[in-house]
A = this chain, B = another copy of it.
Amino acid sequence: MKNKENAIVVGAGLVGSLWSILLAKRGYKVDLYEQRSDVRKKGFIGGRSINLAMSHRGWKALEKAGVDQKIRELSIPMHGRMMHSTTGELTFQPYGKQNEAIYSVSRGGLNLELLNIADSFENVTINFDEKCLGIDTKTKTVGFSNYATKEKTSQDADLIFGTDGAFSAVRDSIQRRPRFNYSQDYLEHGYKELSIPPLPNGDFALDKNALHIWPRGHFMLIALPNIDGSFTCTLFLPFEGEVSFEKLTDNETVLAFFEKYFADTIPLIPNLLEEFSENPTSGLVTVKCSPWSYANKVMLMGDASHAIVPFYGQGMNSGFEDCTVLDELIDINEGDWLETFKEFNDARITDANAISELAKRNFVEMRDSVGNDLFLLRKKIEKHLNKKYPKQFLPVYSMVSFSHIRYSEALAELDRQDKLFERILKIDDIKNNWADNPQVDVVFLEWHESFLINN
């Protein structure tokens, strides 16, 4: 299966647009299909997940596509988490070293740039208004229905990539194939977007270089900055139960809820009640499947094969890393797609499952632990250990956000570090005495040595 020459990419979202660019750079003739109309004509429709947190893995893929500089100019660095207590006190906790940050980027703006670049290649054709009907498993072709003309067509190519998101039509059509494992799993929490406009003078209403969190145990509110001076807020709350969306049925209950838990945001969200009633309450799904390929011809990428919850800011980053990894495998295997597909399945599914798990665990961290003294102490000691033992200790958040270490290694390391901190946090008077405490070093070095022995 060498020297394939043309490819179909289904879905011109972030991953599909980027992947089309990388294929085009290799000289492939690419047909990119998108069910929406050309977003560049109509402008993006907001309402859901309009900003993203770009980190190392995302940037690397953008560099490959040659679009990183332009996006950097449109992004806002967030150097850490700013926690808001119920009484309005602020606590800042850095994500990594001084020069490290995750970057708030507009999903719409990023998608637009990627589409423009894809379109600039002579060997890329973008077909809008084409709803994918799935793969015909007999002919191994992909069907489309045009929204405008109602015409149904069947398209073929050497390779077909399904980058059509969590509710992928490509994946749907192969779901019934023998031995295709699949799961979709919703959190008990839903989310709703709200917005904090700029101040009258155009300034940001909150510190713009932080990801703001109002952690409240079983639920939370977060806010990310946008370059126009506004913040996009997202409320994550159980659908049902004592404190839940089902209980917030009218203006009175919504206002009482915000007064009790998020009082400092009420002056910042002027259209709170309007937005709360008008914006949808959406679910948070985790999608897993295996294998990601079908018939040595079709490959799923991004949310189509591994939709995750948003709490590690790695949904887009992991989808972009799919592109990097697959692109590198094409080089390694010198264009042998059969081997490339095999290796991509073998390595990447494990990593996608790992970031899926990490993202779920980070929800507990964000909504609950970040408000907890022992957790903040751990973060400080992590930073200290990383400074003192840079080769032996890297905090897991840094592995995920500021490195290209495999997600599966980061997950294994989290389990290891949990064991380390179980011991460190038991050291006498650790709260007041951790920076120069020889006990910390003893425990750390023992822990590190046991790792070397076991590996």
- Point out residues on A near B: beta carbons under 8 Å: 167, 175-176, 178-186, 239, 282-283
Contact = CB atoms under 8 A, between A and B. Distances in A.
A168 to B, nearest CB: 11
Give me the 9 closest cross-chain CB pairs, A-B, nearest first: A183-B183, A179-B186, A178-B283, A179-B283, A181-B185, A182-B184, A181-B186, A167-B176, A181-B184
A175 B184 contact: yes
Contacts of A283: 178-179
Contacts of A239: 179
Contacts of A186: 178-181
A135 to B, nearest CB: 16
Contacts of A167: 176
Contacts of A182: 182-184
A283 B181 CA distance: 11
A179 B175 CA distance: 19
Nearest to A286: B181
A167 B182 CA distance: 13
A175 B179 CA distance: 19
Contact of A185 (B175, B183, B184): B183
19 contacts: A167-B176, A175-B184, A178-B186, A178-B282, A178-B283, A179-B186, A179-B239, A179-B283, A180-B184, A180-B186, A181-B184, A181-B185, A181-B186, A182-B182, A182-B183, A182-B184, A183-B183, A183-B184, A183-B185
A174 to B, nearest CB: 12
Contacts of A184: 175, 180-183
